[in-house]
Structure 1
Amino acid sequence: MKNDIIKKSKQIAIPNNTQRKKVDKIANQVFSLVNKEAKKQKAVVSVHFGGSYAKETWTPEKIDIDIFVKFKKTTSEKNFEKVGKKIGFDSLKKFKPYVRYSEHPFVEADIDGVGVNVVPCYDIKKGEWKSAADRSTFHTEFMSEKLTGSMKDDIRILKCFLKINGMYGAEIAKQGFSGYVCEVLVYYLGSFENVLKKISKVKNNEMIGESPRKFESPIVIIDPIDRNRNLGAAISIQNVT
């Protein structure tokens, strides 16, 4: 049964050339639109791809392209939200954009089955976090440098394996593994198979990674770009036993 699930995960996890070309075309089109609008705003420093698209860990069944708009760190929270939404709506106006909320609002649209998110963040140094999205560009930079091609494919397989088993997603209803947690686990442990072996044997409160702090959660997974952060805090004990 387990081998059948792994085989199925491999079949659906890795995008083919046609899928890659489609997503790349949409990504480049939208990036150009966002960059054009961002250049009109004095508070904006730069625009970057982020998330699973930038790290090449996206899976074909649910594709999201994240575009991060970096604001000067002196930008007020009011302008940060206002200008961030304006850039998102103006750049995606052809695609029926709408607002979604995390810590701060961001703009999302669906383009031919591909989700596009325009997310504001601050241009800060590592550790000087002002918004929840600020770590994302550091995550992208780190993983782009550290992950090999086979590790990227193993992350895709891990995501699909967890989805099939109902263990994927950090939202309260799931209390499972987020996409970034999948990336971090494969980075620390080296492969999809090693992650499965580790998770199946993990002890309560066991730490994966290194941190000067102690954490209380069924599994402790340290963010490699912020060693004071436990990525496993949202994962329920049911999903690691």
Structure 2
Amino acid sequence: MGDHIRHGAVRRSYDTVAEEYTKRLHDELAGKPLDRALLAALLEQTEPGTALADLGCGPGHIAAHLASAGTGAEARDPVHTVGIDLSEGMLETGRNRYPGVEFRNGDLLALPAGDGEFGAAVALYSFIHLSADELPTALAEARRVLRPGGLLLLAFHIGEETRHLDEWWGHEVDVDFHFHDPVRVGELLEAAGFAVQMRMERRHYAHEADTRRAYLLARRA
């Protein structure tokens, strides 16, 4: 099946579950101390005054967290944060809940952003909807929209399997979740023009799906 068809299925699936997803996960960071620590480290190393991107932002709760935290070691002023997602349904829930975040509709393979627009970017569990063959293009796009020296934080499920859902919280969907090998993703980051700064793995928290998770922090070389 062509990539554009699969991406359309992902978009429609997230449109379908957008309200339920937001209701269940809008405060998920409260139960993820390691994620909060990594986001704080990213913010501290981001040039003050630069915009941040949340790639595959869903309803925008991570983008809103970044916007309220500020950048730089001492900064506490709100930062301009841009959430980008394929699902207009997700973006609409985000616009209603987080008016301080700018939301844009777009694909990870062709980001609606200018060259060097962002001082840092995060992609937390959004690359799981990309196949292994699509990762190089997505990483090249992430590099394109980052300033030189900008940081990218990735999070994804570890493995080589693909899990498919045709039912999610009582809704009919058609969506694949691709697991990725951290070593391979690190190699692809280096090939795309990043220098990997940190690699971390953790087990799932009690309230999460039973998977191992990887985090990679990379700087645009």
TM over 0.5: no
Higher relative contact order (CA 8 A, sep 6+): 2
Bigger proportion of residues as strand: 2
Larger radius of gyration: 1
Query: What is the TM-score with the length of structure 2 in the denominator?
Result: 0.26
Bigger proportion of residues as helix: 1
